Amino acid sequence: MSLQYSDEDRAFMDEVRTWFLDNTPAHLKGEAFMFGEMSADDNVAWCRELHRQGWAAIHWPKEYGGTDWTQTRKHIFEMVRAETQAPLSYCMGVNLLGPVIYSFGTEEQKSRYLPRILNYDDWWCQGYSEPGAGSDLASLKTKAEKKDDHYLVNGSKIWTSYAHMATKIFCLVRTSSAGKKQEGISFLLFDMDAEGVEVRPIRSIDGKHHLNQVFFTDVKVPLENLVGDEGQGWSIAKYLLTHERTNIARIPMSKVMLAQVKELTTRAAGDGTVGDREQIAERLAEIEIDLNLLEFMNSQMLAQTDAGKAPGAESSMLKIKGTSIQQRLAELRLEIAGYEGYDWQGDITDDETQILTAASQYNFSRASTIYGGSNEVQYGVMAKAVLGL
């Protein structure tokens, strides 16, 4: 079962498709549409182009610079973006921090931060995971001690994406050790060039540098940079992660990737380089069935959201199944590419993209079941919140 689109929705689909085809720079099409493998300058320029069109923050309320689109139209937008291979911009400010600011922030914080987020005047990174406190986020130890007019922050964060490019960070810190672990966590904003902030690179398995470890040594953060109340950080984090996990499912991206793997399979079969064709066809069919079921489940959630029900623990189901499908597609593409797919560092032409990026994308996809809360933890979330176990 798929979404039933109205005539107005179909007209909107045509509008979005035309705009992406007319405005996406040729050098940003292709593999960049999946994992945002753009340069920093290209990423900022593309985000600002979307902002000029009014499409930078489609999930935000219109009063803060977003749209008044239904969830169905937001789904259409992402589906068409993937189909046209327009890039998936990397903007934690828009996707994660913005909703926190307009939901929990003060009026001063809204007026100060939201316009700059929309125009990508600030590059935000996320300070959540720590050594020993990844998916078990309540165990974080980065401490923020209140002084006269500021907090003094000490500790470290790890797996911090693009911290080496970021100008600011939104960070979970421990402001109290009393009571339950979750009750002493707060949400702070501060500059990455503040004295006492150190960024050390982590090169990941895909051969690229997008991860980092960040160290804080007596970093002074103004009291007005606290979002919400002290001790409200856990509630804010859960709110933020619900949205993140829904986005991580990336159904439109997987549909396009499925079509690409099918095309690559056909080409490899014609060249006589593919192995067991029946086994490949069976695996492709299984993935396609699972992807269709995932899209149906997503359609139900979209309908519920349009009816006023906020996404909850069900987003964990989307995250688990969506990331599993991404990994299975990446693994199958690498198998089809064979030995030609292992040299991902070489120069790549358009015709070679599907083969020469197979290993890099496979390696990157291994992280998809970890970031945003590991799938093992999400099974626990569903068992408790959905099944009542």
> Distance (Å, rounded) from C-alpha 278 to C-alpha 171?
49
Name the nearest CA neighbour of 101 among 48, 168, 148: 168
Residue ranges of alpha helices (H) inside the chain are: 7-23, 32-35, 40-53, 71-83, 92, 98-104, 107-118, 233-248, 251-271, 277-306, 314-337, 353-356, 358-365, 375-385
CB 51 within 8 A of CB 43: no
> Distance (Å, rounded) from C-alpha 68 to C-alpha 162?
31
Active site residue: 31, 244, 314, 335, which one? 244
Q: Give the amino acid at 152.
A: L
Q: Which two tokens stand for residue 250?
A: 């990336």
Three-state SS annotation for 214-260: EEEEEEEEEHHHEECCCCCHHHHHHHHHHHHHHHHCCHHHHHHHHHH
CB 198 within 8 A of CB 214: yes
CB 98 within 8 A of CB 31: no
List, in order, residues 6 or more apart from 294 with CB less than 8 Å away: 249, 251, 318, 321, 322, 325
Q: Is 183 a catalytic residue?
A: no
> Distance (Å, rounded) from C-alpha 260 to C-alpha 173?
43
Q: Give the amino acid at 269.
A: A
Residues classed as catalytic:
244
